[in-house]
Each structure stands twice: as C-alpha cells, then as structure tokens.
Amino acid sequence: MLVRETIKKLAAEAGFDLCGVAACRPLADNERRFRGWLAAGCQASLGYMERNVAKRFDPRLLVEGARTAVVCAVSYKNRAGDGYLSGHRARIASYACTRDYHTTIREMLQRLFDGLKALDPQLRGRLFVDTAPLAEKQLAVEAGLGWIGRQSLLVTPGLGSYVLLGELLLCDEADSYDAPLEGAGCGTCRNCIDSCPAGAVGTSRMIDAGRCISCRTIEREPAGEAELHGWVFGCDECQSCCPYNRKAPLHANRAFDPLFDPAAMTPAEWLALDEEEFIRRFAATPLSRSGLQRIRRNVLKNEKQLP
C-alpha cells in the first residue's frame, strides 16, 4: 500500500512545490461540462480535444488497474508573469521563457516514481506531463491543490495559477487521500474575464479557443483574423491580473529559471533572427514548438495591427 506522506516527501525531494493524492474515479460532472463545451464549438481548431473523451475523465480507462492519482505542481513564476509595458509588441508567455516544462517535469516525475518503486519494486503505473487525454486540472482539485479559476486554470492558494502539473497514475491504493479545498476560490473577482483583450474568458469557467490569443499564436490557427494585442507566443493576460498571482512568490526551483528576457527583445530583433541563431538560443524552450517562422508571422501581424 502507498503511504501518502511518503509520496509527498519524495515529491518535494524531486523538486515539486505541491503534491496531492486522490483516488482514481470517474469525473462524471466534469465530463458533462466538457461535452457541453465541445457541443458549443469552443474547441475551435483544437480537434484533438474531441478524441478519447471518456478516458479523459476516468483515469482507470487510461491506465488499466489505476487506483491512485498523484498530482504534483511546481511554480514557474518569473518577472515576465507580472506583465509587459503597454507598448511592447513581442510578448511571450512567461512559461515559455524557461526550458521546456515537458522535459523538466518528466525528469522530476521519474525521480519520484523511481523513489516509490525502490520501496515497492512491484509498483506499476504511468507518468503524464500534458501529453495524454487526462483531466489534470480537475485531478489537482480532487487532490486538494486548488480550484478551477474563472480563466479555467488551476489556482492554488499560495502559488496562484503560475504552476505546471505532472501526474502519476499508480496501480495501488494509498493509506489515505487528500480532500478538495473548502472555503477557497475566486469570490466575486472577475479580473481575468475583464482583462482578456480577446473576450475569450467566459463567465462559466470556460475558454473560447477560437478567440484565445494563446491558441491563435501557438496552435493550429482558427479561421478568421483577430488582433493579437502584442503577443507572439502564448498569452498571460488572464493570469497577470489575478490577485493570487500578484502576491505569489517567484519560483523556487532553479530548473525553471528563465533562459532569456522577452521584455528585452524587440520585434525587429525577432525578425532579424535566422534559423541557426533561433535554434542556438531557443531550441530548449517551448518556442521550438511553433518555430521561428510562426513567431515571425505573429510579429508581423502585430506590426500591421499597430494603432
């Protein structure tokens, strides 16, 4: 049997700031809301969201024999998360200023998993870092880490929403499980709704991906033209305005130190980069996902949209 406190101790040693443990079970209410989101067409160009819906909301269908979900979170907050000067026209989401979190968190999860298997060599399970149909934010709620904010992101009491998640689905029961937080939440605050320049944040804790600037600058582009408001990769508008993020400390895990300062780079500097220089400077960051040509295209869109 898994020991909850041992899991949390090993998670901290692996570099995570938060860890919660939840029983694997169907998340029927969340699946119903998600299917409503799909029916409304809010997924826009994100066609992959339509696949494996049942697995997304029942971890036992994703990993046969899964009984326990270990949900880990680590802060990545850096200075870019506080926002940019109003005239900056080459904005980068703050998470993209560091080494690609998929790589870093996978390494951290593997250390945690190895530690657990050292205690029980027969332990079976699988680790996840935002690469499979898993309702990780809701699992984080189940594990007591926070709640879903109006901008649809996980908000934690001490670290805000500038956190990245990783999960272990394990084929053993724990001696005890965490409970969802009570008494915490967004209250009457609607900063994220009012601050989104694209109007993508709805009132029901759902995002319209067709409007979302992050989707438009990174994912397959939705139909139609839309203003990018200075962003060229991702968007932090619904986070930098959040009271929980304003009071959250900067990240403690040095693996999430920024590799460059996006506020110091002008549109002209991005346009002047060649592929070799881009790879040398940014290959280890999430920017490699979209590539230089996509970033250049977004920079040019912003230049054309200057008032």
d(C-alpha 288, C-alpha 286), whole Å: 5
- Residue located via tokens 């692996």: 14
Three-class secondary structure of residue 89 per DSSP: coil
CA distance 290 to 12: 32
Partner residues linked to 170 by β-bridges: 68, 125
Would you call 130 a catalytic residue per the annotation?
yes
Q: Smallest Cα–Cα separation from 253: which of 58, 108, 83, 111?
A: 108
Report the distance separating Cα 85 and Cα 237, nearest Å.
12
* Structure tokens given for 90: 């080459």
Catalytic residue among 130, 172, 257, 274: 130
| Phi-psi map region of 205: left, alpha, beta (phi>0 left; psi -120 to 50 alpha) | left
Tokens of 239: 């986070």
Catalytically annotated residues: 130
